[in-house]
Amino acid sequence: MTTELTGYRILVAEDDYLQADEISRIIRRTGAIVVGPFPSVNSCLEQIATSQISGAVVDINMGKGPCFEIARWLKERAVPFFFLTGYDHQIIPSEFSTMLRLQKPVAEDELVSTLHLMLQISA
C-alpha cells in the first residue's frame, strides 16, 4: 500500500468497533496517523477541539440515529472530511450536499482514493 499520506492525521468517527478497526487499519496502511477511532459524538468533539487533524472519516449514525454535529464542528474549523455511512444521500442536510460520501460497506481502494481526494480538495 502507498505511503503517500505519511504525516497526515485522520480522525475516525465510527461507533461500530469492527468497522472502526477496519477503517483504521486501512488508513494506517497509507502511512497516515489515525486519531481515534472515536465511538461517540462527545469524544469526537473533544478531539476536534484539542487536536491537530488533517481530515476526518465520519459515520452519520453515532449510536442514536443520524447526527451531523461532528460534521458541523469540522466544517466550522475548515477540517476536510467525508461521510462513510449506510444512509442514503437523501438523509444528508443541504449544508453538506457538496461533501464526499461513501456507502458502507466500502472497498479498501475506494476508501484510500477518497482520502486522497479529500486531502487534495483541501490543499
Note if the pTM is more than 0.85. Answer: yes
Hey, is 66 helix, strand or coil? strand
pLDDT exceeds cutoff 80 at 29: yes
Q: Which three cell numbers stand for residue 39?
A: 465511538
Question: φ and ψ at 9, to 5 degrees?
Answer: -110, 110
In the chain, where are the structural domains located?
9-122
Q: Which residues pair with 84 in a beta bridge?
A: 102
Specify whether the backbone of 106 is left (phi greater than 0), alpha (psi in -120 to 50) or beta: beta
Per-residue pLDDT of 34-73, as tens digits, reads 999 999 999 999 999 999 999 999 999 998 878 899 999 9
Q: 9-122, what's its fold?
A: Rossmann fold (3.40.50)
Cα 78 from Cα 73, distance rounded (Å): 9
* Strand 81-85 versus strand 100-103 pairing type: parallel
